[in-house]
Amino acid sequence: MESTDPAVADTVLQAVAEALRDVTGRIVIGYSGGLDSTVLLWAVSRILPAERILAAHVNHNAQAASSAWVRHCREFSEGLRIAFLAHDLQLSGRGNFEALARDQRHAWLRSLLQAHDVLLLAHHQDDQAETALLRILQGRGTYGMPMARTAGAGELRRPLLRIPHRTLVEVALREGLRWVHDPTNDEPSRDRAFVRGRVLALLRTRWPEVSRDLAAIGERSLAMEGAGRFLAGQLPDPLPLSRLPEDASAAIEIVRWWILARGGGQPGRSVLERWYADGAQRAARRTFVPLSKGRLIAEGGLLYFQPTPGPSP
């Protein structure tokens, strides 16, 4: 699948350069050794001096080839004169391995960031499509991954999020890059691999641009979520329940955004639905709704958010 179009590399380099335009600190790259993060590391090395870059690799110790992957990543990074750092995860066999590994991986990567540093991850358009579709199938909405967000003392950015995977493949082949392949990414027993290898592959036979369109839905939904949170943040605190629309679904959505705007975490929609159906707007009754970062209190026709007290100084 070698590309005959040299512009594919420019597409990637321009996206990465735009993501790095205002960065004054270090660039930490989540580098698995796979094709996507290899292209990302290559692109950053073409744009910034090597002394500003750190390739950070997490060894999950889940494959017989894990140690060989660490060696490959170290050698590839050193070939670019980029500093390399590896971290071993030791996960128990209990619980959801994928979720535990993701949480610990992200926690370690965040811990590397200082003020003004940026963590780059190599998620691309197809990853965004998979995320949006998975969330739809799991009943968790349609929102996708953000292009940027805070991460520890720095910021996380995904410069490749609007670039199709096929473009990254073309760049890797054209530039003669070397990468490793994790076979667990193809195991249909894993939800994301099933969506990627079975569901989206089938959908593309009828709608070739389904990944692009799903990714766009995920991005628009994320923007709508941010807009809703911003607008809900302009509402008074406490919130008069009489200000809510009559439609229960719309009212619950506004309350959810109102909570998020006040640092209340992501409340479960089912929790809010039960609370609303149980008479949240009855002025004479005081109701409490426990949340992950506090609680809602409805009393006298007003809605209050009470955050969980932080640790004493």
Pick the CATH number of 7-124+144-181 from 3.40.50.300, 3.40.50.620, 3.20.20.10, 1.10.10.60: 3.40.50.620
Rounded CA gap, 57 and 63, in Å? 15
Crossing angle of helices 248-261 and 269-277, rounded to 10°: 120
Going residue by residue through the chain, which has 313 residues, state the pLDDT in tens, using 9 for 90 and above: 444 566 889 999 999 999 999 999 999 999 999 999 999 999 999 999 999 999 999 998 777 788 999 999 999 999 999 999 999 987 665 656 677 888 889 999 999 999 999 999 999 999 999 999 999 998 877 888 999 999 999 999 999 999 999 999 999 999 999 999 988 888 888 888 899 999 999 999 999 999 999 999 999 998 988 898 899 889 999 999 888 888 988 988 899 899 988 888 777 778 888 888 876 545 456 778 888 888 888 888 889 998 887 554 4
Which among 55, 57, 59 is positioned nearest to 28, based on CA atoms?
A: 55
> What is 154-220 written as a DSSP string?
EEEE-TTTTS-HHHHHHHHHHHT------GGGG-TTSHHHHIIIIIIHHHHHH-TTHHHHHHHHHHH
Q: What was the pLDDT predicted at 212?
A: 95
- Domains of the chain by residue range: 7-124+144-181, 236-307
pLDDT, position 218: 92
**pLDDT value of position 285:** 67
Q: How far apart (Å, rounded) are the C-alpha atoms in residues 120 and 115?
A: 15
**What is the H or E stretch that residue 222 is in?**
helix 210-233
